[in-house]
A and B are shown apart, each in its own frame.
Chain A
């Protein structure tokens, strides 16, 4: 134990002799870990948020597909679906998108028929009549209104329609409601000039959760131009969207991993003349090869462990304290309305362990193996270069 402490002491002195080089190495290494860690933390936290909140999403959504695209669905389909055994209810929904040329943003307009009770995440209340609306925080920030003000939108006939704002969703719900404008279903139908016989999609409630998949197949069989989407599939979409094969992981993490490989490769392809000379001197004054390897092992451990811990700490602060400002533009793209969100810290230990294994172990190997090759060579030959 005391011997290892002495070797660590010697290693630290050796590292301090080349402090600028080693400090820059730790900075680059920690930055790479922080980048990889930030992506892991952000995607995992978003996945937890989505799969946790969307567990109460509609059990089964039925869309109509025409010419390979989503199309309005005839409300007559509700009768066909209602007759299937196991179906509790079928509700036509009206929702759609609205591009506002003033703020150059896309809004999502949702029609609700009736909802009894208060929503905890809504300041104010949901619309009671066709002249009222509730809006998301992003819409409120973009247009600047408060509860009681009017929201003016142009309907499909280019006429100005005024809605009184009765509620604004709280910031905690930004990830779900940021760009929403909630209207009464009849008002939205008028706004979109949508025929009474059509709806955007149908929501099917089933008695037995285990029958959802079977019902989806039956709906597809009876109405071949439909596309049933189950709640499990919605949750699975978010699971795959933010897993390690997701676009974000590929875009950022692969680039960071490649830069780490370059760092490790540079270390593995050879040690500097100064380091070779140091090993030669140590061997000449009587150090065993195992002692030299112990020094190099400690050197690799000090650099990789310090960088790893600093990088993970930086990633945590970046994602959960500052809201991942370096990664958010990737998700934002050209969106004008983008939610300001505070993610609930959620970390998968398995991912952190894998990240540690993939970065610390190769770096240690890249430090020890070239030194072992030098340490087994004759000291005189090494010192002469």
Chain B
């Protein structure tokens, strides 16, 4: 058996294994019924991933300033703050500037 044939068999086996794993992973039906029951019963809104800061424990419930919570312009000091950034939703307000008549821009 030549080196070329050995290599082709080797890479074919590797490709077969990897594709098999990927196909099983991408088409496998995940049964989340029990988890959904739990989420509904306890009213869970977030994954219990990082519990070091409230905005990384509950990213969906965190407020806009949670990452700078200690004082204005405070630096972010939790390591996961750079991985799980707050993504505030539900805030609608914005700054409006009203120009008084008689003043020029």
Contacts and interface: CB of A to CB of B under 8 A. Distances in A.
Tell whether A and B belong to one assembly: yes
A309 B21 CA distance: 12
A247 B84 contact: yes
A366 B78 CA distance: 41
A63 interface: yes
Interface residues of B, number: 64
A125 to B, nearest CB: 12
B97 interface: no
Contact of B44 (A57, A216, A348): A57
B34 A333 contact: no
Interface stretch (A103-111, A259-267, A285-293, A370-378): A103-111
Interface stretch (A6-14, A78-86, A156-164, A189-197): A6-14
Interface residues of A, number: 96
Interface string A232-245: 01101110110000
Contacts of A68: 63-65
B59 A248 contact: no
A53 B48 contact: no
Interface in A1-33: 5-6, 8-9, 12-13, 16
Contact of B43 (A93, A228, A305): A93
Interface in A145-200: 169, 172-180, 182
A138 B54 CA distance: 17
Given A58-B45, A316-B25, A337 B51 contact: yes
Q: List 3 A-B pairs, minimum CB-CB distance, nearest first.
A: A333-B80, A345-B25, A333-B79
Interface of B: 2-5, 7-8, 11, 14-15, 17-18, 21-22, 24-26, 28, 30, 32-52, 54, 56-57, 59-66, 69, 78-85, 87, 89-92
